Amino acid sequence: MLFFEHPNPMIPQVIVLLCVAAFTATGCAWDLKTRRLPNWLTVTTFFAGLVFHSVVGSLTEQGLVGGFLFSLAGFGMGFGILFVLFAIGGGAGGDVKFMGALGAWVGWKAILIIFIGSGLIAAISLVVVAVWSLAVGSPEPKEGEKKESSLARRKIPYAIPATISAWLVLGGLFTLKWVAMSGSAITLEN
């Protein structure tokens, strides 16, 4: 539903893009600083996504229920995939809620692509961090500092690759839709 029929179809899409950008940027900054994603951010974003898609759906042929179900399916896919990983020991509860809230805004198809992209970005990032650590050498923990906390600082918060993936996927989809609506192809001369 990210690209649904509406009297001015670009307005709801721009709202989705702006809300997702604000949510992911806030989540990314918060996760980087505190290594946690707060419930006030994830839960309110989830409910805002449900309300937004229900209202916009009611203005289209999709209908209120269709908009609500679109958002709920996105939440279920985002939450469900990360919950499975969380249950087997990968990730944290905030990451699960983050992807669920993001899914409520973008739908199940887009959140699936974002999840795959975030996995690729996280894998590449981990390789870069590992190579960098080998090349530079990892610093010895300071006196009184646990070795685990030194290792924990090298981990990449999940919100970072998820945010990068979301921006790439949604930016690409929005650009493709905009080009399709304008009727002109993108060339090097444009």
Q: Would residue 80 count as lying in a domain? A: yes
Residue ranges making up the domain that contains 96: 10-182
For the cut 60, the answer to whether the pLDDT of residue 16 exceeds it is yes
Classify residue 1: in a domain, yes or no: no
pTM attached to this predicted model: 0.78
Residue 20, pLDDT > 80, answer: yes
Q: State how many domains the chain has.
A: 1
pLDDT at 91 over 70: yes
**∠ CA 64-48-61 to the nearest 5 degrees?**
20
Q: Which residue has the higher pLDDT, 140 or 129?
A: 129
pLDDT of residue 90: 74
**Residue 68 — very low, low, confident or very high, per pLDDT cuts 50/70/90?**
very high
Confidence of residue 40 (pLDDT cuts 50, 70, 90): very high
What are 104's two structure tokens? Answer: 């409520």
Positive or negative torsion for Cα 118, 17, 10, 59: positive
DSSP classification of residue 144 = T
The answer to whether position 151 is within a domain reads yes
In a domain, 31, yes or no: yes
Q: Pick the residue with more confidence: 10 or 93?
A: 93
Contact 52, 105 (CB under 8 A): yes
The answer as to whether 3 is a domain residue is no
Q: What is the pLDDT of residue 125?
A: 85
| C-alpha dist (Å) from residue 81 to 76, 85, 99, 112 | 8, 7, 9, 9
